[in-house]
Each structure stands twice: as structure tokens, then as C-alpha cells.
Amino acid sequence: MAKYRVRFNDKARAGAVARRNELKRKRQKQFHRDEEEGEPGDMPETTADPNAQVLLPLTDEQKDQRKRQLHEDLVTDKKMSSLKKKRLDKYIDRQVRRQERDEIFAKLAASTVNTSNFQSLKRLGQKGDLEKEFASESEREDQDQSESDSESDTQPKSTFVDFRPSAGGFGFQNLPQIKKAAPQKQKKVSWREKLGMSADTDDEHSENETDSESESDSGSDSSDCEEAKLSDDESESEKSGNDEANQEEESESEEAEANEENEQNSKSIGAQFSNWAHSLEKHESLPTPIVEGYKHTPRVEPQEPVQDFSKGGQTRGKTFFVNVERPEEIDQLRLNLPALACEQQIMDAIHHHDCVVLTGETGSGKTTQVPQFLYEAGYGSNDSETPGMIAITQPRRVAAVSMAERVSVELGNHGHRVGYQIRFDSQTGPDTKVKFMTDGVLLREMSSDLMLTKYSAVIVDEAHERSVNTDILIGLLSRIVKLRREEGKPLKLIIMSATLRVSDFTENTTLFPTPPPIVSVEARQFPVAMHFSRRTTHDYVNEAISKAIKIHEKLPKGGILIFLTGQNEISFAVNQLRKYSKEPTLKPAQVRLSAKETVMEEETVDFDLPEDETDYDDDNSDEESEEEGFEEEYDGEETKLHVLPLYSLLPTQEQMKVFEKVPKGTRLCVVATNVAETSLTIPNVRYVVDSGRAKQRVCDQETGVQKFKVGWVSKASADQRAGRAGRTGPGHCYRLYSSAVYERDFSQFSAPEISRMPIEGLVLQMKAMGIHHIVNFPFPSPPPRESLAKGIELLQYLGALDKEMQLTDLGKQMSLFPLNPRHAKMLLIGNQHGCMGYVIAVVAALSVGDPFIPLYELLPPPVKPVVKSDDSEDEEEEEEFTVEEKERQDKLRQRFNQVNGMFSGLDKKSDVIKALAAVAGYDFANSTSEYCKENFLRSKIMTEITKLRQQLAYLVASTTRPDAIESTTQALSKQLQPPTKVQLAALKQIVTAGYIDLIAVRADSIDDSASVGKKTSIINHPYITLMPGPEKYAYIHPGSVLSHLGSQPPEFLVYHALTMGDAENAKVRLRTLADTTASAISHIAAQTPLVTYSKPLGGAHAPKVLSPTKRIAWVVPRMGAAIGSGGVGWDLPARKVTQVKRGGEWCTVD
């Protein structure tokens, strides 16, 4: 073994290692505090310090002492069983541990912490703080080092000098980048250079620490040479195998050995590094070098969620614009709209993204301005890159028509390029570039042109209403946008709403894998003050009337908009307000509301009273003057009310009256349903009276029972209603409910229509479009699985889908008609015995709605007077009709019965034939409104039925006779003659085929327990439905033609809906269509899953074998036995069928 030879620089190396270890220990002094303080044994015994890092537990002696003390305190009887002793010992152990834990917690609670050195995480690691900390630490280290050097002269010193920059960051300027062969360990830091100490001081220390070195370079080269020399000595020492060296020496020698090949480069780098360090000696903190010409720009926080919409999107092509000349007054009005101020932001988002979500409060001008932005940017222009039209969808027809007219006016010289298309009307032409329509119209266009090649941009407005058509439209457009982008013909999709649930789109990765940008437009242009009622009353109609009268009496000029739930309430309120306005002796100054009907708007919440409390008595008569929201003074300019109704069944010309100028000296008062909640802008409305309620049709998915329920609207809808008052100026919203009810009973958003309505038509259209897996379709809100299964089941009953849920030939033809699948099948099988014209009329009537006005709308019940004079009594009595009024009502009732008898003259058991007679009579009367008034028909319904007849005639002609469409259309839409008996029977069978699953049988014919008395009225005869309902029996609706039948009702009935009132003991009612027979049901339902067959009959009706695999047999059909687990089912008359043998079993084929 080679002998170890002591090197001449061992002393220097040992000094360097010791110094480096000492420096490391000082930097990590927080980990060596116990060493600095000394051994625990040397410390004097003191009490426990609560601020100590370690709290020592109790010793064994202390624990034993406490156990003995507890044992003495607890044990009184020396005689004790072993089991009891064990339990006592366990209890004492638990008590000792609990006492120890409590003492530790008490010590921790008494501890204190010096928080002077704490700092925020935001400032952690900042440059200025680190420099100060390093500077102070380096000063302390130098002082300690100087003291240690003076005390011990024999301590070896190191020649290592560190020229690294301060903690502000490495700012190497103009240094060459040289790649190393192997990663180099970072040298230890000397803080003298960071503090700007001179190089001469370093040289002196280096000479004192080294005994063997005789020469060194001057200036900065000396330190570099010493560093290179030190690394060379360490490498030689490592080769000699120094066993006494520590791990630090070995690691340094290994690094030096790896870098021997780059020794020359290291020396040059060291020299450059030294020169750079000395050039920065005059700087105290050595900041990061600043580039010349750099100008600091302060950061501006974004005001909107999305500012720069060009990032991550598509680049726009050639810039194009259309010059639009508008009248000066139009320009002034547009400048006041918040949407105009966001035009640049909106268009940037649209240009760089195919899909954009635009949200903004009511009154921001989204509906009218965004189509104009697109048109002026070149969308719809033939010379631009986007020549397709601009489509704007609206949920309601009245909104589509009114918005088209408004945008046409605002586009000035290009107003002729704006049109609209709704279900029964179209105002478009070859020059139309901006097209307003209902969502159903665009959805129907997609069935023939799925890619929407005629359009370059689609705006889905009022998306918050979440109708079935809107949801399916957005789902389809999300896929079409992607396909159009791949084809190089992009389609822009803009989803707009004032109260949109953005999460339904941005968080739905199935709908949009990449969340679309959200552009928010500021709130409504004028403030709206909210006034809640003190108490929520049940009689909200009279309360709304009282509130409108009070507004007219006390507040300045401005229109009034009242929101009620239905046509009946609106008609009653309009009559009462018109009566108040026409009273010659009653002036607004003389109006006084009774204490019971006055709504105190000072907000109080009384949780002990029910929310439907109808009356509120207050003995303080002066409190009315202190009511909130009536601080303004009446100007006396408007002395009368100009009252107008607004609801969906109102004729279009009557609906448009709300946009006309009111007569001079009158105040506009519009009483409307939620049809005025959408994008309609009724001019000069300053006051909104919101009942907070709406009537909605709710369908039970399990039973199929439909209810028209009056319930609370959502908070979003309430905000929409309030926004109507801030469209043209500052306004007030008077809510006829308390804030407690608003917070407790109002949901945030309305439930999507797709979750509460049947969707069989939607399923058929999606199947026709090739969307077979409907469950995977990107719905904004997926429909319930139960309703989807119900829709597929119904289509199978109708023959549109087979057992594998694939579209049949019949289903493909049914999808061509924009109708309910039931009505589409009736049209396809209606060409029998010359019945096609009658079937078209019946289908049109069933699709539009009931055209007959009920008697209760013609003869409203007596009501309480709303306005009372000063000398009136507190107790109110119902108005008594005069003799003349009673005679008028008797004549009206007699005329009503006479008209109904005339329409039901063809068939007294069929409501469908009654509707057919009304349609035919209206056609012979040249479609006049006088005919409707004389025969108690709804004029708007009859007009829509006539228009739909013409459209259906054209569709049937184009499907059945494409070579003679015009002549066939004229033949099918001509005036109808009275049908024959054969045609009447055929019509009933056609209706039965469309509603084959909605069959009811009289209960006493199949159930002996359902006995009916002789004096039982028609509407109280129980029926059992084919599908299980919420109740065992259902009853004929009082409005049916059967209610006036003098004989026993039919055994089998076809109905189109089950309805149920809101009363506690309400019965399920059948909305009947026609009577039918058992044989007709047996033949029509033969090939559906609704019918099962018994085994062949024997005896005289035994099977006749035609071949080993074919026979003719008599069987008993049973209707409804295979419907789920709750199907009732009943036997039908036996019939002869043909059976074939398949797989060893006989199957009925006919």
C-alpha cells in the first residue's frame, strides 16, 4: 500500500473547509439554536416555558403519583371485585391522560408569538426585501469572522473569493455562453464582494491564509488565479487518495476532475466574471441590468372578464363596411344605448370567434343594435366575405314582428333589407339581409338545409327562456359552426339574453369543448326603483288595479305596465280600469282606496302570518300618505287612462296598438301577460306593476296529466319585468309581494321547458336529421330520461319507429310536416273516402287551439267594486245587476246555446266534428271578424287556422302530387261541404289512429264496482284510461260537447289531454275528441305494442291450418295489457287473424 504523503497545502485546504462549514452553520442557525444555547443539563431548572419549541410530557413518576392520588380519592370500599378493579384502573388511566392533555393545551394557549417578523405572502421573495436581508446578514457574518480571526491566528485561512452577484438576480451582460461538459456545482458565496468591498482587502486575506503561494496576480486576476489554483490542488489531492478528507473535499475533487478538460475556458470565464464584478462595485444593491430605451408602463387591471378577444381566435380577412344613413333623431337615440358603446368589443369577439355569448341587462339595446353591427360590418353583403343573411330568432311572434319593424326604421336607407318570418306570416324578399323569425321557423329550415348555407350569422335572442326549440337549436348550431369552419365558410353564432345562465354554456363541455367568450354589456340605461309590498295578498288582480289607479292619481306622467297571468284576468282588469277612466263624476283627485285594499309598501316581514293573507287592516289612515314610491307629485297633465290589453291570443293588429301614440291628455296603461316580458319595448313606460305570477302548463311525465298552474315566476323573470320601466327613462317597479316571499319562494331561474314538456316531436325531428343517439346530443340542459323514453314509446305506437328504434318509412314522411307526430300521421292516412280536406281542417284546428269562447268569459261573475267614494261603507257587497243587464245575459246565454247546437249538429258526440263545422262556416263567411263575434269564436285563432290550412294543403300536395302542386293545393283548401256519414266514420277512425294510446273506456262496462246512478250527470260518469293516471277514474270535461248529451255517454272515447284543476278535490278531466268503437280500436292498434292476443279459440272457431307454418284463427285482443306495470287493459271483441310460425311460436301478422 502506498504511503500517505502530506501535501504542502493541507493546512490551507483544512482552513477553507472549516470556514465553509462555519458559514453554512451560521446561515442555518435556526436549525442549531439548541446547540448555541447549550446542553439541557447545563441549564438551571425553571418552570415550563409556554413558548418552548418542545413541551415535555409527564414522567412515569409523576403519572404514578397522580394515579395514586385518584385511586385514594375514588376508592372508598376496600373490598372490590377484579372486574370492578380493572374498570377502575382503565378509568384512572383515561383521567390521567385527559389531565395531561388539558395541561398541554393550557400551556399552548398561554404561549405568545412575536409577529414583528411576519410579512404578507404577496411580499415574500421580493427583490428589495431580499437585498436588505442579505446585506444585514453579511455584515453580521463579517463581524463574527473578524472576531474569530483576531482570537485565533493559527486557524487556517482560505484563498477562495466569491464574485457572484447579489440576490437581485444574475445580470451577466455581454458574457459568452459556453456549454459545460458536465453540470458544475455552484460555489459557496462570500458576501464581501456583494457589499462592494475592495479587491485589495480580498488579496490581503488571501495572502494571510496561504503559506505556500508566493505569487498572485494584481486586481481581479489574483482572485481568479487563486480559485483556479485551489481547484488544481484539490484535484491532485483527490488522486492521491486522501482518506482523512471529509465528504465535502471528495465532492470538490470530483468536480475539478470532471472540469480538467475545460480548464482554459474556466480561466477565461473567471477573468471575465471578475472584471464584470469590479465594474459594478460602485452599485450598492447590484440591481438587474436595465435595457436601454426601456420605458416602464404601469399595468392596468382589466375592467371586463374578457378584453382581448383576438387571442386564441381566428384572424379576420378583408375589412368591409356598409355606409348607413340614419335620421338625426335615430342617431341620438342610439347614442344613449349601452350596447353602442360596446360595439368594438362585441365585433372583435364576433370576428375572432365563431361562437360568442352576449349578456346584458334589460334596456341595453342588444336586440336592435347587434344585427345592425353585423350588417354594417359586411354580414349579408354580396361583395363581402360573409354574403349570407343574418338570422335573429325570437321566442314569440309578436317580438319578432315588432323588432323587425324597429330595426328597419333604425337602418335608415337600408331599412328595406330587414324582414321577418313567423308561423303564419312572412315579410321577406330577394333583398332581405336581416331576417327576424321564431326559433321554430329556423329549426324547420334546418330540416331541409342542415348547414344553413343561406346564413352567415345566427343570433339566438332571449335564450334564458329555454324553450324546447331554443335548446335543440343551440345544440345543433354548436355542431354546425364547427362543420362550417372546416368547410371554409364560417358561421357566426351569437347567444344573447339579459338573464342568461352562463354556466349552462361555458361549463358544458359537451356543448362547447372550448368555452365561448362572454361579452357583458352594462346595466339598463336608466335606474329602476324597486318597491315591495308590505304583505303578499291572494287577490292580486284587484290589488294591481288599485295600484294602477293610485299611480295615475299621485305620480307624474308616464305609462303603466301591469303583469297578470291570463286572458281572463286581463279582460277583467281592462274592464275595471276603463270603467274607472270613463266615470264622468269620478276624478283622480276624488279617488280613495279602502283600507283593506291599500297596499302598504313599507317593508316589514311578519313570519307569523301566511303568505296568502288577503286583507290587511290598518287603523292609521294617514299612513297611506307615507307609502314608499309615491314621493313625486302629480302634474295633472294626464286625466284619463288609455287602457290596452296584450296577450298571445289577441289579434296582431290589436297587439300593435300598444306601440301607437296615445291620445293627448291620456296616460297609457297596458295590462299584459309575460308576452311583454321579452324584448318588447313599449314606449314611455315608467311604472311597472308586477303580480309576480305566471300561468304555465305543467305536464306530469308519468301520468300525462296537464295542469295550467299559476305560480311564482323566477327572480330572473322578475328582473326582466322590472326592466320594462327603465327602457326610456327612470322608472318604478311595484311588486305585489313582499321581499320575504321573493327571497323564499322565487327560484333563481325558470326550469327549461324541455324538462317539463313532452318531446316526441323533438325525437322525431332529430331521428330524421340522422341523430340516432339522442342521449349523447349536446343539450344545454338534457331532457329527463323518463320523458325521452316516453317519446320513443309513443313514436313506436304511431309506427314512426321500429323495435330497434330506427326510423321507418312512415316516420320519414311524418318528419316532413312541422306538426305534432300525431297530427302528421293523421295527414298521411287521411286520403280515404275523400276525407283529406276535412283532415287538413281538423289538424289545423287541433294544432292552433280551441277556437270557441267559453260561456264564463262572456258572462263574468259579479265582482267587488275597486273604487269607492268617500261616504261608502267599509263593508263591500257584490254588485247587483240591473234588470236590463240580467235580460241581456239571458239572451246571450240563449244565443250561446243555440250556436253550440248548430256547430254540433253533424255529430253530437264528437268535439272534432264541432270544430270542423266552425272552420267550414268561417270559410263560407269569407273569414270575417263579424262571423266570429256572432258565433263566439276567437278571431285570431280562426285566422291562424285558415293560414295553417293553406300551408298544410301545400305540404300535402308537394308530398303526394309533386307534379300538380298548385291544382292539388287549391282542391284541398277550397270551401268544405258537409261530410257524409261514411266520411264522418272515417274521420273518427283517423283521429283514433293519431291518438291510439289516449283511449278511455267507461268504467261500468269493465268494472262492476263502478256503478252509476240513473240521475248521474254526464260529466260525473267515470272512465278508465289506457295509460295509468294519478286517479283511478277520469271524467268528461264540462266544456265538451258530450256534457249536453241527453243519453248515456259512449263506451269508448278518444281524448287529447288529461287536465286537473288546482282545487284540493279536483277531478281528472278528459278533453275529448270523438267517440269510437271496440272494433275500430282492435283493427287500428293491431300492429302496435298496445295489443296482445289470446290463444286461438276452440269449437266452431277453431284454427284453420293452411300450411305447417300458417293458419287462420280467432283470438281475443286485449288492449293495454303490455303497458308497463300499471296497465289496466280490457278485452276487445274476438277477431279473425292470420298467424305464421316463427322460431317454433305462432305470431299474429294480420
Q: What is the secondary structure of 868-898 as a DSSP string?
A: B-TT--SS--PPPPPHHHHHHHHHHHHHHHH
- What three-state secondary structure class fits 114? coil
Residue 300 has pLDDT above 80, yes or no: no
The grid coordinates of residue 335 equal 347614442
* pLDDT-based confidence at residue 867 (cuts at 50, 70, 90): very low
Q: List, for residues 500-545, the tens digit of each pLDDT value.
A: 677 777 778 888 888 888 898 876 668 889 999 988 988 999 999 9
Highest mean pLDDT among 75-79, 226-230, 502-506, 983-987 belongs to 983-987
The grid coordinates of residue 398 equal 309578436
Residue 11 has pLDDT above 90, yes or no: no
Q: List, for residues 402-457, the tens digit of each pLDDT value.
A: 899 999 999 999 999 999 998 767 889 889 999 999 988 998 888 888 899 999 99
Residue 342 · residue 519 · CB < 8 Å: yes
- Partners of 260 in the β-ladder: none
The grid coordinates of residue 51 equal 413558548
Rounded CA-CA distance 731/687 in Å is 6
Residue 390 · residue 455 · CB < 8 Å: yes
Sheet holding 1110-1115, edge to edge: 1104-1107, 1110-1115, 1135-1142, 1145-1148
Residue 245 has pLDDT above 90, yes or no: no
Name the pairing type of β-strands 1135-1142 and 1110-1115: antiparallel
Q: 807: which residues sit within 8 A by CB, 6+ positions away?
A: 767, 768, 800, 801, 815
Average pLDDT (667-675) is: 90
* pLDDT-based confidence at residue 822 (cuts at 50, 70, 90): very high
The grid coordinates of residue 1149 equal 301478422
Rounded CA-CA distance 890/363 in Å is 49
* pLDDT-based confidence at residue 126 (cuts at 50, 70, 90): low
Given CA atoms 774, 439, 571, 560 in this order, what sign does their dihedral have?
A: positive
Q: Which of 966, 981, 1053 is nearest to 835 (CA)?
A: 981
**Alpha carbon of residue 575 to chain centroid:** 39
Quick one: what percent of the chain has pLDDT higher than 70?
Answer: 69
Residue 263 has pLDDT above 60, yes or no: no
The grid coordinates of residue 651 equal 289579434
Full set of structural domains in the chain with CATH: 1-39+128-168+184-288 (no CATH), 61-107 (no CATH), 328-521 (3.40.50.300), 528-755 (3.40.50.300), 1023-1148 (no CATH)
Residue 610 has pLDDT above 50, yes or no: no
Q: What are phi and psi of 442, to 5 degrees?
A: -65, -35
Bigger pLDDT: 34 vs 110: 110
The grid coordinates of residue 422 equal 313567423
Rounded CA-CA distance 129/299 in Å is 22
Neighbours of 941 (CB within 10 A): 20
Q: List, for residues 364-410, the tens digit of each pLDDT value.
A: 888 999 999 999 999 999 888 889 999 999 988 888 998 999 999 99
Quick one: which H or E segment has residue 435? Answer: strand 434-438
- Which pLDDT score, from 0 to 100, does residue 336 have? 83
Residue 869 has pLDDT above 90, yes or no: no
Bigger pLDDT: 155 vs 795: 795
Sheet holding 731-735, edge to edge: 528-532, 731-735, 685-690, 559-563, 666-672, 640-646
Neighbours of 151 (CB within 10 A): 8
- Which pLDDT score, from 0 to 100, does residue 1011 have? 77
Residue 1067 has pLDDT above 70, yes or no: yes
pTM over 0.75: no
- Which pLDDT score, from 0 to 100, does residue 1101 have? 82
Name the pairing type of β-strands 426-427 and 418-421: antiparallel
For 77, which DSSP code? Answer: -
Q: List, for residues 1099-1134, the tens digit of each pLDDT value.
A: 888 888 888 888 999 998 888 876 654 555 788 888
Rounded CA-CA distance 774/769 in Å is 11
- Which pLDDT score, from 0 to 100, does residue 880 have? 58
- What three-state secondary structure class fits 1119? strand
Sheet holding 1117-1119, edge to edge: 1091-1093, 1117-1119, 1130-1131
> Taking CA 446 as the corner, what is the angle to CA 440 and CA 448, rounded to the nearest 5 degrees?
120
**Alpha carbon of residue 108 to chain centroid:** 51
- What three-state secondary structure class fits 669? strand
* pLDDT-based confidence at residue 242 (cuts at 50, 70, 90): very low
* pLDDT-based confidence at residue 677 (cuts at 50, 70, 90): confident
pLDDT averaged over the chain?
76
> Taking CA 183 as the corner, what is the angle to CA 180 and CA 186, rounded to the nearest 5 degrees?
110
- Which pLDDT score, from 0 to 100, does residue 654 have? 85
Residue 1070 · residue 1037 · CB < 8 Å: yes
Rounded CA-CA distance 371/434 in Å is 7
- What three-state secondary structure class fits 396? coil
Q: Which of 540, 862, 530 is nearest to 710 (CA)?
A: 540
- Which pLDDT score, from 0 to 100, does residue 214 have? 41
The grid coordinates of residue 366 equal 342588444
Alpha helix stretches (DSSP H) within 43-189: 60-74, 82-110, 127-151
* pLDDT-based confidence at residue 995 (cuts at 50, 70, 90): very high
Rounded CA-CA distance 1106/1138 in Å is 10
The grid coordinates of residue 795 equal 313514436
Q: What are phi and psi of 575, to 5 degrees?
A: -65, -40
Q: Which of 750, 685, 697 is nearest to 719 (CA)?
A: 750
- Which pLDDT score, from 0 to 100, does residue 456 have? 94
- Partners of 641 in the β-ladder: 667
Neighbours of 177 (CB within 10 A): 5
Rounded CA-CA distance 143/158 in Å is 17
Q: How far is CA 162 from CA 176, 197, 209, in A?
A: 20, 12, 15
- Which pLDDT score, from 0 to 100, does residue 1091 have? 87
- What three-state secondary structure class fits 166? coil
Quick one: what percent of the chain has pLDDT higher than 90?
Answer: 24
Residue 1007 · residue 1024 · CB < 8 Å: yes
| Farthest-apart Cα atoms in the chain, separation | 142
Q: List, for residues 899-951, the tens digit of each pLDDT value.
A: 999 999 899 999 999 999 999 999 888 878 889 989 999 888 998 899 899 98
Rounded CA-CA distance 992/1015 in Å is 30
Task: Report which residue type is found at 617.
Answer: D
* pLDDT-based confidence at residue 840 (cuts at 50, 70, 90): very high
Q: 49: which residues sit within 8 A by CB, 6+ positions away?
A: none
* Total residue count of the chain as it appears in this document: 1150
Q: Which of 447, 359, 415, 396 is nearest to 817 (CA)?
A: 447
Rounded CA-CA distance 532/107 in Å is 56
Quick one: which H or E segment has residue 267? Answer: helix 263-279
Rounded CA-CA distance 1019/274 in Å is 109
* pLDDT-based confidence at residue 114 (cuts at 50, 70, 90): low
